[in-house]
Amino acid sequence: MDKIFRVNMTDLTTKIEEVPAAWAGLGGRGLTSTIVAAEVPPTCHALSADNKLVFAPGLLTGTPAANSGRLSAGAKSPLTGGIKESNAGGTAAQMLAKLGIKALIIEGAPKTGAWYNLAVGVNGVTISEEKELLGLGNFAVIDAVEARLGKKTGVLTIGPAGELKMTAANISVKDPDSKIRSHGRGGLGAVMGSKQIKFISIDGEGAPGVKIADPEKFKGAAKVFAKALLDHPVSGEGLPTYGTNVLVNILNEAGGLPTKNFTVGQFEGHDKISGETMHDTIAARGGKVKHGCHAGCIIQCSQVYNDKDGKYVTSGFEYETIWGLGADCCIDNLDDIARADNLMDDIGIDSIETAVMFGVAMEAGILNWGDSKEMLRLLTEEIAKGTALGRVLGGGAGSVGRTYGVTRVPVVKNQGIPAYDPRSVKGIGITYATSTMGADHTSGYTIATNILNVGGYVDPLKKDGQVELSRNLQIATAAVDSTGMCIFVAFPALDIPECLPALIDMINARFGIALTGDDVTNLGKHILKLERDFNQKAGLTSVHDRLPDFFKTEPVAPHNAVWDFTDAEIDEFWNF
């Protein structure tokens, strides 16, 4: 039977608990948000002992289901002040699931200045004081933990940014190549830092594995599901070939590629940073065009990017990072962007928040537009070292805007707006405005239908249908985020009729239950409402469901589009 592992950092004790009946049917985001809502006072300081950091694998994680190896991390966010769930690949989710750990809850905070590591294994969690690895970057931590405990050890770690409790700090997860995936958004690395935990190791030895109630039914459904993923042109061909970065050229053509801190919708240097150019560069330098972030991923949207000498620079090199440091900062040097991506992994800082931040920092005059060398210096010499300037930058886009008196600050609920301009792709603007997570494209990815013709088509430049589109996608995403599935299963799920029923059949076969499509939709609705209720109690109300004013007053070329939704139209989102 699955258990809850609970760690109290105030008195340095650990417990193994039965799973309460109300949590039994939950996993991933549904579970982390339920636990945070039940146990964290909404008005607490996110970096205080009252906050809790919760890790939960999804409902299907640890099974042979394709693309089911995502781990959810949840807490009250020090960046947004609201509830947060951020999910990532890597090896940890499957190891936790196979150990029978439904959730790992970390609460309290040490009373002294001592730092610790947690060792998770089949018999529970051991807390040990940690001195040796303090101050190190994430790559060095992973190497050292492997040397200490063995190559197979799973690792969750924070870099200097998390230790310094910067609100853009992330939590890094070791991937199958001992590199890094990230619980990127919302400053969860600072929450882990506030608990004075440098890393969590996971020992899979003796793990009982995941028991499937109806193995035959599961096998059949898993086959149908995997076939849908491989048959769909986006998940089966586009993503493995070009990665997510194929979007640079598409958004540029559509006039929705935010450029120069969201002042223009197209970037002159787009071709140099595009997915097509990246693909050819990777192939020519002997990197890996496709690569999975976790065992069992059959989409393989990740890649390994090498330098001119064929040496590893980075992996998991995503569109949002490349857009942000590229178009939004007017940098057209993909090698420098790759170097920055690697540095952000090592420092342990969210590559979306930090990229948006650099656009604001350039507007503030901290560095010049397009100055990638100074950007690299700011990462290594200021942010990684925690200088006063580094701490301002490490607080994200909102922090820099406030400190330097910038008014064009692309954030919602203080979280940086990602790679799609909400004026020229209006559906995603509704998602940014209403998401319980702050500006977050993944929570209701309308780009699929606004731009990519997946799941039908809704004109990105008109207001019609956007609220409904975003609502339906946010509900579905909340449910998918609870299964441990990669969000890219949404592409086949939107177009191939057998895909979603197969996903539900796998859940039913795994637990011996009989969920219907309606049950899954209701789960998604329940999660969104639960998260919103937490946010409202934390002081985030409908007046925070708004985009910054400049989107209303500054038309963006080439379509000269403005954000023209009324407050009432946005608030319609929550009518469900």
Interface size with another protein, residues (CB under 8 A): 40
Of the pair 290, 441, the CB lying nearest another protein is at 441
Type of residue at 446: T
Secondary structure (3-state) at 407: coil
Residue 6 phi, psi (nearest 5): -120, 130
Rule CB under 8 A: choose which of 8, 241, 333, 387 binds another protein.
241
Secondary structure (3-state) at 433: helix
Of the pair 203, 341, the CB lying nearest another protein is at 341
Rule CB under 8 A: choose which of 172, 249, 399, 482 binds another protein.
249
Rule CB under 8 A: choose which of 461, 536, 552, 555 binds another protein.
461
Contact between 240 and another protein by CB under 8 A: the answer reads: no
Rule CB under 8 A: choose which of 82, 269, 275, 292 binds another protein.
275
Contact between 571 and another protein by CB under 8 A: the answer reads: no
Contact between 17 and another protein by CB under 8 A: the answer reads: no
Of the pair 552, 559, the CB lying nearest another protein is at 559
Contact between 164 and another protein by CB under 8 A: the answer reads: no
Rule CB under 8 A: choose which of 199, 218, 317, 491 binds another protein.
491
The bridge status of strand 302-306 relative to strand 288-291 is antiparallel
Q: How far is the CB of 477 from another protein (least distance, A)?
A: 11
Rule CB under 8 A: choose which of 179, 294, 441, 471 binds another protein.
441
Rule CB under 8 A: choose which of 319, 511, 563, 573 binds another protein.
319
Contact between 132 and another protein by CB under 8 A: the answer reads: no
> 409 and 401 in contact (C-beta within 8 Å)?
yes
Please name the residue ranges forming H helices in 348-443.
351-363, 372-377, 388-393, 397-404, 426-434
Contact between 247 and another protein by CB under 8 A: the answer reads: yes
> 174 and 381 in contact (C-beta within 8 Å)?
no
Buried residues in 79-91 as b, exposed as e (16+ CB within 10 A): bbbbbbbbbbbbb
Contact between 184 and another protein by CB under 8 A: the answer reads: no
Of the pair 234, 383, the CB lying nearest another protein is at 234
Of the pair 198, 279, the CB lying nearest another protein is at 279
The bridge status of strand 3-8 relative to strand 101-107 is parallel
Contact between 527 and another protein by CB under 8 A: the answer reads: no
> 173 and 156 in contact (C-beta within 8 Å)?
yes
Q: CA distances (Å), 233 to each of 20, 239, 313, in order?
A: 42, 9, 29
Burial zone of 28 (CB within 10 Å; 0-12 exposed, 13-18 middle, 19+ buried): buried
Peptide bond preceding 20 in cis form (omega within 30 of 0): no
Binding footprint of another protein on the chain (CB under 8 A): 233-234, 237-239, 241-247, 249-250, 253-255, 271, 275-276, 301, 319, 441-442, 445, 447-448, 451-454, 457, 459-461, 487-488, 491, 558-559
